[in-house]
Amino acid sequence: MTEKITADDLARVKSILASIDESYSTKVVGQASLKRSLLIGLITGGHILLESVPGLAKTTAAQAIADAVSGSFKRIQCTPDLLPSDIIGTQIFDYQKQTFETLLGPVHANFVLLDEINRSSAKTQSAMLEAMQEKQTSIGGTVYPLPEPFLVLATQNPIEQEGTYHLPEAQLDRFLLKEILDYPEFADEIEILDRIDSGVYEKHDKKEKAAVTIADVLFLQDAVKRVFMDDSITNYIVSAVYVTRQAESYIGKELADCIEYGASPRASIAFSRAARALALLEGRDHVIPEDVKELRHVVLRHRIILNFEAIADDVQPETIIDAIFAAVKVP
């Protein structure tokens, strides 16, 4: 039986998260949902897919989280000619020693930003699957474990689709959450300009002391496993995911016909992990139904596959997700 989280543990969790939040907020203005998703990814060790138009601080946010926890950060700009070896690493021959030496790629970092992941070829995208799922890479027959914690933040631009490759469902399913970012509020954009004028971002270009340590992050990842989830919450999660596969009996034929494929069991796992993390962010040692409901869009929007007709009619996954949760009884 898993040991329960204690009051002292919760106090330490609150202190660590407050320190990360303070450091992060000095560099990123607004975008509360992005911060929440990044923190959930950090706490659970899950990967995050970010979708937005350019210029909405995705790279800045990823760098800010890495800086806050003293983690190593690597940014990979995905292009059609990017090779798998450019990401995971390769072997080179040393003529002086007459031996092969392994050069590890940029994926061997605590935080890896895959910028515009849908611009890389299917072969290169597949090279990330082992890293994301198994947290290791294979080079020349040798397995190299990735550092802990390990978090992939991938971005994609929904506007410009020329020269892009559709992300396969198998890879989409590896992302714990998919966050869609919107333009900042008016006041937030004023604040961004004020900070630029005051030189805040130039100051933060210099290396600063991290808010917390890697050990603190590993403590968070251990604590989240001990957050209590009642059986009724588990049934709520599984029921919602089950309805995505048997939608016609619950949300009507019109909406059900939009679904090509429902969510896999990875969706249930994602709900379980993310809901526990959200409970910690709220300072609780247990999950409540509202945690699951609040995460419904970020967990399911990339896992419910719509058919061609639904896409042509501009049916949004969120519409179907809301209908599903309206049909499922809340415990």
3-state helix, strand, coil in the chain (%, to 5): 50, 15, 35
Per the CB < 8 A criterion, the answer to whether 299 and 270 are in contact is yes
Q: Is 41 among the domain residues?
A: yes
Section 48-69 average pLDDT: 84
Give the number of residues written for the chain: 331
**pLDDT score recorded for residue 115:** 87
Cα separations (Å) of 318 from 51, 56, 97, 238, 239? 15, 21, 58, 18, 17
Q: What are phi and psi of 247, to 5 degrees?
A: -65, -35
Q: Is 190 among the domain residues?
A: yes
**pLDDT score recorded for residue 208:** 61
Per DSSP (E only), the strands in the chain are 47-51, 73-77, 89-94, 99-104, 111-115, 136-139, 142-145, 151-156, 175-180, 259-261, 305-306
Residue 124 in this model has a pLDDT that exceeds 70 = yes
Q: Is 68 among the domain residues?
A: yes
Q: Is 297 among the domain residues?
A: no
Section 202-230 average pLDDT: 81
Q: Is 219 among the domain residues?
A: no
**pLDDT score recorded for residue 252:** 87
User: What is the span of the domain harbouring residue 41?
Assistant: 31-210
The total of structural domains in the chain comes to 1
CATH code at position 120:
3.40.50.300
This prediction has a pTM of 0.88
**pLDDT score recorded for residue 127:** 78
* pLDDT over 70, % of the chain: 94
Element (H, E) at 17: helix 7-25
The per-residue pLDDT for range 270-318, each reduced to its tens digit, is: 999 999 999 999 999 999 999 999 999 999 999 999 988 888 888 899 9
Looking at mean pLDDT, say which of 1-15, 125-139, 263-277 comes out highest.
Answer: 263-277
Task: Give Cβ neighbours of residue 14 (< 8 Å, ≥ 6 apart).
Answer: 283
Q: Read off the pLDDT band of 202 (50, 70, 90).
A: low
Determine the angle formed by the axes of helices 58-68 and 7-25, rounding to 10 degrees: 130
Q: Is 304 among the domain residues?
A: no
**pLDDT score recorded for residue 40:** 95
Looking at mean pLDDT, say which of 117-121, 188-192, 250-254 comes out highest.
Answer: 250-254
Per the CB < 8 A criterion, the answer to whether 176 and 274 are in contact is yes
The per-residue pLDDT for range 128-179, each reduced to its tens digit, is: 777 888 888 888 788 889 998 899 998 887 766 665 677 778 778 889 999 9
Q: What is the end-to-end Cα distance of the chain in Å, rounded?
A: 24
The counts of H helices and E strands in the chain are 17, 11
**pLDDT score recorded for residue 303:** 92
Q: Is 184 among the domain residues?
A: yes
Per the CB < 8 A criterion, the answer to whether 5 and 285 are in contact is yes
**pLDDT score recorded for residue 297:** 96
Q: What single-letter amino acid sits at 301?
A: R
**pLDDT score recorded for residue 15:** 94
**pLDDT score recorded for residue 160:** 61
Per DSSP (E only), the strands in 34-174 are 47-51, 73-77, 89-94, 99-104, 111-115, 136-139, 142-145, 151-156
Cα 218 from Cα 9, distance rounded (Å): 13
Q: Is 299 among the domain residues?
A: no
Per the CB < 8 A criterion, the answer to whether 184 and 244 are in contact is no
Cα 162 from Cα 150, distance rounded (Å): 31
Cα separations (Å) of 123 from 82, 88, 165, 225, 260? 9, 13, 10, 34, 25
Q: What is the rounded average pLDDT for all residues in the chain?
A: 87
